[in-house]
Chain A
Amino acid sequence: MLLRLTDVTKNYAGNEKAVLDHVSLDLEQGDMLALTGESGSGKSTLLHLIGGLDSADSGRVVFDGIDLTPMNDSGRAALRRGSLGVIFQQFNLIPSLSIAHNIAFQARLAGRHDPSMVRVLVERLGLDDHLNKYPEQLSGGQQQRVAIARTLAARPQLVLADEPTGNLDEATADNVLALLQDLVIENGASLILVTHSERLAARLPRRAYLRAGRLT
């Protein structure tokens, strides 16, 4: 079992209802899960808890046999560096680094930098001509491809993608997702994809639906 969530609950100050209410979920190595739900249903929050970016109020999040719940800041940071990869809707590239350095950054942090793999990713994602540019010089679709390359170059066990195609047009979104799926499979990783789009969700083998903080 790569990931197990047990009765995870999360609320934010000022909210009447919990954002996540006793959510449980299992994910095996190689699984690809599409997580859908309405706005405010807690999809991003669930992703952040799995990624160690936030902590649950109650319940347990166990990744690769390690319980994230009692972990401190340093432990979670180490987990994010070594085993997880997060792709955000806003791309969140590092603006001060060139595209080449952005792509290699997480892999180098994890101590798994493989220039040949980066070259393959760059080629597959069509980024060859942009390596010396800076993020603000690229279009949204190009930036998203850089974010995907950055995550996959670090060869994480689990890729967490939060609306990675939310800012892209339909055709580009289809291409990006197909590429992401292919690369995840080639790297033997797992994927949790948060999306609004039923059409995109339908392309993944497993689906889960969040409604009012509960998983169905």
Chain B
Amino acid sequence: MTAAILSALLGHWRRNPLQLLTLMVGLALATALWSGVQAINEQARSSYDAAAATIGEASYSQITAQDGGPIPQQTYIALRRAGWAVSPVVEGRLDTIRIVGLEPLTAPRDLGPVRLGNGVDLGDFLSGAGQIFARPDTLARLPQTGAALQPTPDVAPNTALTDIGVAQLLLERFDQIDRLIVLPDQPITQQPLAQIAPELIQTDPQQGGEVAQLTESFHLNLTAFGLLSFAVGLFIVHGAIGLAFEQRRPMVRTLRALGAPLVRLIALMAVELAALALIAGALGVALGYLIAAALLPDVAATLRGLYGADLSGELSLRPSWWLSGLAIALGGTAVAAFGALWSLARMPLLSGAQPRAWVMARQGSGMAFAAIMLLGLAAALGIWGTGIVAGFVMLGALLIGGALVLPPFLSLLLRLAEGQARAPITQWFWADTRQQLPGLSLALMALLLAMSANVGVSTMVSSFRLTFVGFLDQRLASELYVSAESAAQADAILAVAEDKADVVLPLLWVDRLVAGQPAQIYAARDHATYRENWKFLHAVPDAWDRLARGDGVLINEQLYRRTELDLGSEITIIPGRTLPVLGVYGDYGNPIGQVIVTEPLFSEAYPEVRALRFGLRVGPDKVAPLRDALRTDAGLGDAAITDQSTIKAMSLAVFERTFTVTAALNALTLAVAGFAILMSLLTLAAMRLPQLAPVWALGLTRRKLALLDLLRAVVLAALTATLALPLGLALSWALLAVVNVEAFGWKLPMYLFPLDYLRLGGLTLVAAALAALWPAWKLARTPPTQLLGVFRNER
């Protein structure tokens, strides 16, 4: 019996290959977009994890110099003698490669590949010319040092791990250590750090890598995009399954009338769908791999440029990724099919199928109600909600509510247009368009989501770009930035700068806990550079003047949002001395809090901290002579001098990469929505003949009908765009002002880009017209005999 039922069920797909294609391609595309984005994210995260494991930031306390400079080897020895279980690390960049030198006898056993029992010969590692562990592509870029090169895929991308001696040799930092890793097991009695080395500071292990925190915003947005793309694809699947089940209702009735048990019928249909979902899911995961492989180089370049995060440009296949891709395909199909299976299970044996229009009309009012409830929920969460979960629930409610409101919204607009129409063909056009809504609504919802995602993500990325460029203008106001390696070199820089630069701005900071949060306290010299370029989010009147008098401090947005601090709140930055908050400034991309005090106050509080970095203001024509003088007179290398315009150009180049990724995802999502429209129109084409034949018989040519069908698709896309724009902007606002704040502690200002929206609208109309072109062409070429078939009862 099972075979007989299956044969009858599968016969439907044989007779409707286009529907099967729609289902499979829709599901494959949905899975591909989701798993492609997930692949990129997983690859990035694994790279951060590898980096964190290599340099030990995530798990261990660290000891560093308060001024950020190197730690003398003698200090390390003094600490060991005083009972401190610490292990030295030398770290620096050789060209673009990060060199990390460890001391394997004292380093924690789980750090990097240098661990016993891991196939590593400790003797070789320590003796002779040493060994360097890195990925093959990194090893290929290293200069010849005589050390044995050991290809090791476990090491983070663009990172080379070696013995501390080899690293000091490579980086030319003899007898210097950059930081000390504090082992978890310390002796019960030991001298306090402040007594042995007061110039050093110990920081607690971080909950996650700094890079991982910084880039989380980027990945969160990518994930949101992937989810939206999946939702777009799911609408296609929902449409295809819904149509297939509706068309199979009579067959199901017949099978039941012939004695097939309902439970078995439903079970077989579920199995049939699961099998199709697995095939389509496998195709989708493979396609997702191709998408990820194509996008990864740009994503890697973006992350490296934006956050200094090293990410391998090569994609590795992971079993978990395959499984999650297949699971989401199965889950998506289950969600899409549940309603159809449920309604089939509840269908009385003797009931006839209800007229489609009436069913849809009833569904329409239900949809409008659900949409209003969801949009109301989104608004309520936007006003009163707190926490990241509320942010995501708001996003979901906004998107689903927006999608559900589309059919009633379009129906209302079309009804109004029909009422205004005077000519009969125009009137029929609007009425007929309204009649097509139920069949097209899922595809149009997919288009709405695709467009909203485009508007939302583009607005967010472009706002981020504008804000970040403006922020760079604030922060990189000085024409040159220079770093000294020692106090003597700092003096040399100052000597040159006094003569050749207009203004010298020392960059001084210390890491401290402020209001219970990890923060940096910065010193600002009273100068127009800060007054003219730094923008406050909130500030008291004359904030700069009061700061210069030492009457208060400025804090960044992160500290403002994470603590109870506000204007006028008192902060203790020196024991026994509290100062009020005078202003809050934007500090985009910084994961931790920041406090700015005036330079004299900073010097009073932290007299031991010397400035080793400086911003130098100079006229544009004097930049080159100043740079030359710093090279020759202060002995600075190129790496120690950073040109403001170079950094800005690099930042802009990074954003262009980001735009490439966003544009590619935008195009893919829009293409998926276009595909949904095409498939819906092709499916509807056969069902439309009885509606079109009478109009043709009454005197409209097939060509005109085809042109009207083409116009219909464009008009529906245009009307959908009118809803997509506000929805997309709301989405963007939710991402920028709610999710970002909850997740990362800073709020991005939102800018509008009307020209971009116009271009997107144009692209959408083109996509809709292209999707409608083939069905319209087919209609124009429909033989009259086929149209007559509608009327003919005999020949």
Contact = CB atoms under 8 A, between A and B. Distances in A.
A96 B434 contact: yes
B117 to A, nearest CB: 77
B795 A54 contact: no
Contacts of B788: 48, 53-54
A88 interface: yes
B795 A81 contact: no
Interface stretch (A24-32, A97-105, A172-180, A201-209): A97-105
A12 B424 contact: no
Contacts, number: 107
A35 to B, nearest CB: 13
A21 interface: no
A53 B700 CA distance: 11
B127 to A, nearest CB: 88
Contacts of A78: 699
A160 to B, nearest CB: 10
Interface stretch (A1-9, A38-46, A58-66, A119-127): A38-46
A109 B424 contact: yes
B72 interface: no
Interface in A65-93: 73-74, 77-82, 86, 88-90, 92-93
B795 A44 contact: yes
B355 A54 contact: no
Nearest to A106: B698
A54 B794 contact: no
Interface residues of A, number: 43
B793 A89 contact: yes
Contacts of B794: 39-40, 43-44
A51 B787 CA distance: 14
Interface stretch (B138-146, B314-322, B533-541, B687-695): B687-695
Interface string B429-441: 0011011000000
B702 interface: yes
Given A12-B785, A78-B699, A105-B424, A93 B791 contact: no
Interface in B675-717: 690-691, 693-704
A134 B795 CA distance: 30
Contact of B703 (A39, A73, A79, A106): A73
Nearest to B692: A94
B577 interface: no
Nearest to B693: A92
Contact of B795 (A45, A88, A166): A45
B432 A77 contact: no
A57 B690 CA distance: 26
Interface string B768-795: 0000000000000000110110111111
Contact of B691 (A42, A54, A73, A95): A95
A10 B783 CA distance: 15
Given A51-B697, A96-B428, A136 B357 contact: yes
Nearest to A134: B357
B474 interface: no
B702 A73 contact: yes
B425 interface: yes
A65 to B, nearest CB: 19
B644 interface: no
A74 B700 CA distance: 8
A205 to B, nearest CB: 25
B697 A96 contact: no
B152 interface: no
Nearest to B699: A81
A53 B784 contact: yes
A88 B791 contact: yes
A96 B701 contact: no
Given A39-B794, A45-B795, A136-B355, A108 B699 contact: no
B642 interface: no
A97 B693 contact: no
B435 A96 contact: yes
- A-B complex: 8 closest residue pairs judged by Cβ atoms: A81-B699, A108-B424, A96-B431, A96-B435, A92-B694, A80-B699, A96-B432, A77-B701
10 contacts: A12-B795, A40-B794, A45-B792, A48-B788, A82-B699, A89-B793, A92-B697, A92-B790, A93-B694, A136-B357
Given A80-B697, A92-B690, A96-B431, 13 more contacts: A48-B791, A53-B787, A73-B701, A77-B700, A86-B698, A90-B791, A94-B694, A96-B432, A96-B434, A96-B435, A105-B428, A108-B424, A109-B424
